[in-house]
Amino acid sequence: MSDVQTRVHNIVRDFLDLESEVRPTDLLEDLDADSLDRIELVMAIEDEFDIEISDEEVDRIRKVENFTELVHIHLQGKDE
């Protein structure tokens, strides 16, 4: 598991106060994350990685792995 993935999983697990580990394929709705939770998760991830996720990208987030993918994309863009 990459450092980014570990950090994203920890944010999701801690924010949603989950007892079990988070898997990349977990659907946010299955983790009982409502639309407000999703927005707050986006803000937490933006703060953690110093990135900005657009509204269009937020609309496509369904699974935990979508957060990790977006972070990777945004971090690559910062390196260029």
Q: Decide if 34 is catalytic.
A: yes
Kindly tell me the sign of the dihedral angle through the C-alpha atoms of 66, 25, 19, 6.
negative
The active-site residue out of 14, 30, 32, 34 is: 34
Measured between alpha carbons, how far is 57 from 19 in angstroms, rounded to an integer?
28
List Cβ neighbours of 25 (8 Å cut-off, separation of 6 or more): 63, 64, 65
Residue 63 tokens read as 């699974």
Tell me the catalytic residues: 34
